[in-house]
A and B are shown apart, each in its own frame.
Chain A
Amino acid sequence: MSASARSGDVATVSVTVGVGQTLAFDVFTREIDLWWRRGVRFRFGRRVGALCLESGVGGRLFESFDSESGPHVIEVGRVTHWDPPAALAFTWRNVNFAEDEITQVEITFESLSETSTRVTVRHRGWAMLRPDHPARHGLAPGEFIRVTGLWWGDLMTALREYIDRARNP
């Protein structure tokens, strides 16, 4: 990926996987709950539930939890593009994003050989650039205040330092 292609709001990551394209696509989509990291800060609720990606355009990406009052679902996004085994795309919006703060995740599966596939994630959208992304500081999104439309720079650093101090007195 050339430097000029790295525009301000796209995060791009690739990995080469030692399985064929069709298997890679199927495992990615059908077994997402088995491979997605299970730590609370990589998931979407206060505890780890069952992650699911429904197939086809309009399919949901969601995590479901059993509770005393029945199943509870947190929806992360919807499939906007479904092209097995080559590609899929879905919207991504954490519970603490505003209604219009939608980001887009595109996954492509490039066949390199019968037993090798290059999988690339492109995550784009200004709303992605926020300090309360689930991976950032080990707090479930629901515990965090809604931070909408703020830019990151020194504020993010200050907030991270504040959180580190609060968690490590």
Chain B
Amino acid sequence: MVFHAAAALTTLKTAAATSLGLTFAALADPARRGVIDLLRCKPRRAGELASTLAISAPRMSQHLRVLRESGLIQEDAGEGDARVRVYRLRPEPFSALRGWLDEVEEFWQAELAAFKAHAERSRSKR
């Protein structure tokens, strides 16, 4: 059976046209990945994200809009001051990420098992 790369590309383009595709596109940008990394630790305000990542306020505002529209983050009113917006991660997209990391770990687990078998098998000969 021949695998058709062109057909796979069509599948991907179709997905990109959906809201899920927005999620994928959101994480293509390193600055937005930086925002995600910061929000992993705790929710933060836009100003703090901008200054920590050394990004201008208008640019950060743009990034946050993309991340919101992709479903990766949500915006809440800050405690005590409803004008202050606090951003936090939405957990659902990241449970899928955990599944993928598990697969990468399976790959390395199998390689390390192969290494262990080889190292132990040959130790008596050294």
Contact = CB atoms under 8 A, between A and B. Distances in A.
What does DSSP make chain A's interface, helix, strand, loop or mixed?
mixed
A155 B115 contact: no
Interface residues of B, number: 51
Contacts of A18: 116, 119-120, 123
Interface residues of A, number: 55
Interface stretch (A24-32, A61-69, A72-80): A24-32
A15 B113 contact: yes
Contacts of B110: 37, 42, 135
Interface stretch (B5-13, B43-51, B58-66): B5-13
Contact of A133 (B3, B5, B104, B122): B104
Given A8-B37, A151-B93, A145 B112 contact: no
A17 B116 contact: yes
B42 interface: no
Contacts of A166: 1, 3-4, 7
A23 B15 CA distance: 49
Given A121-B111, A167-B3, 4 more contacts: A13-B112, A15-B115, A135-B106, A151-B23
Interface of A: 6-19, 23-24, 27-28, 31, 34-37, 42, 119, 121, 123, 126, 128-129, 133, 135-136, 139, 143-145, 147-156, 158-159, 162-163, 166-169
